[in-house]
Each structure stands twice: as C-alpha cells, then as structure tokens.
Amino acid sequence: LLLAGIFSTYFHMTLSYVGQLLDELSILWTVAVAYAFWYPRVYYPRCIKSRKHFFWLSGVTTVISTLMSFIKPAFNAYMLNCIAFHLLYLTWCELKKCNDKRVHRMAAAMVMWWVLAISSWISDKWLCGLWQAINFPYFHSFWHVLIAMSLLYCCPLVIYFDVTYEMPSFKPKLGYWPSDSWPVVVPYIALEERHKQC
C-alpha cells in the first residue's frame, strides 16, 4: 500500500508512461496479495486444493496481467475494474449468508462509495474533452478520494468474512469510530470469543 501511494504520487506529478505503469501495477500487485491471503477457501476453483496452490494461481495471473499491461497499458485499468466487480459479487454471496445488519450497512456504504468512484472514473475517461471545455477537469481526483472511501469500508468487510472462515472460535463484530450515528465513520473489527477453550 505504501508503494502504491508513492507510485501514484510520482505518476500524478510527472504524468509519465513509466509513472502510469508503476501506479497501476502497484495497485494490481497489492490487490493480488490481498486476494492470495484473504480469498475464502470455499470459493476456490475445484483444481485448487490449498492456500499454497492459490498463491501460485494468484501469482501467475498477476504476472500475466503485468506483462499484458506493457503491451496494452489500458488493459490494466480494465483489469482492476474487473477485480472490483468480482469483489462486489463475492460480497453479495457472503451477504446472502449473513444476518448481521451492521455488515449489510457496511456493504451498502462500500457499494455507494464505489459507485460514486467508478462514475467519476468513467466520466473522466469518456467525457474528458467536455470537462476540459468547461474548465472542470477534477473527476480523476474525485475518483481517488471516493475509491479510498470505498476501501475504508471494503477492508474491514473482507477481514470480517476472513475471521468467520479462518478463526471460528471468535465472533467478529463490526464497530464504528467515533460513533454509529455519524455519517462518515472509521469501521473496525472487534473479536469476541464464542466460548472459552481449555
């Protein structure tokens, strides 16, 4: 994540081709690492038998995507958005199994921020000439802020589901700082022991 921030800053300061590749590839590799560690085992393809095999699958897929981005740089942005759609699908699958209203609220907040972010990205990408003509070229910066807000809710949600699968002796509970009633909050996960172990 630190490298993604550094490379994104470098790209937006220079607007160079190398900066663009560093920015997008650092995000791709960050997402790949997150997938490798936290992708629920229940969703593995049948040919994958262990987390180690899934690490290899994630690694090979990421290397292929990286090489493709050198051939066609625009490929990377669309690949990252495909990953986002897959993440939304996984969230929907998990929400069907979950009755906790707080989890549903967090997922709704994540999706709302993501829809606003992707709308800004599409608007900047496809209507750039229009926004420049009226001297309002800010939608790309909106994208960065809004996707960061979406990730603020996405990360604890992924951790919540990971704890459910990987640490069955604990019950994850969502909390919001500073208060549940605030419109923008920092979500966190608290772990409660389901039962004492001897």
Which residue, 154, 75, 146, is CA-closest to 113?
146
**DSSP-assigned beta bridge partners for residue 173:** 190
140 known ligand binder = yes
Kind and range of the H or E element at 9? helix 2-14
12 known ligand binder = yes
Helices 51-71 + 17-38 axis angle, to 10: 160
Which residue, 169, 168, 195, 188, is CA-closest to 42?
168
In angstroms, the CA 22 to CA 14 distance is 12
86 known ligand binder = no
Residue 156 to residues 26, 68, 114, 118, 137, Cα–Cα distance (Å): 21, 31, 15, 20, 32
Numbered residues of the known binding site for Zn(2+): 12, 140, 144
Numbered residues of the known binding site: 12, 140, 144
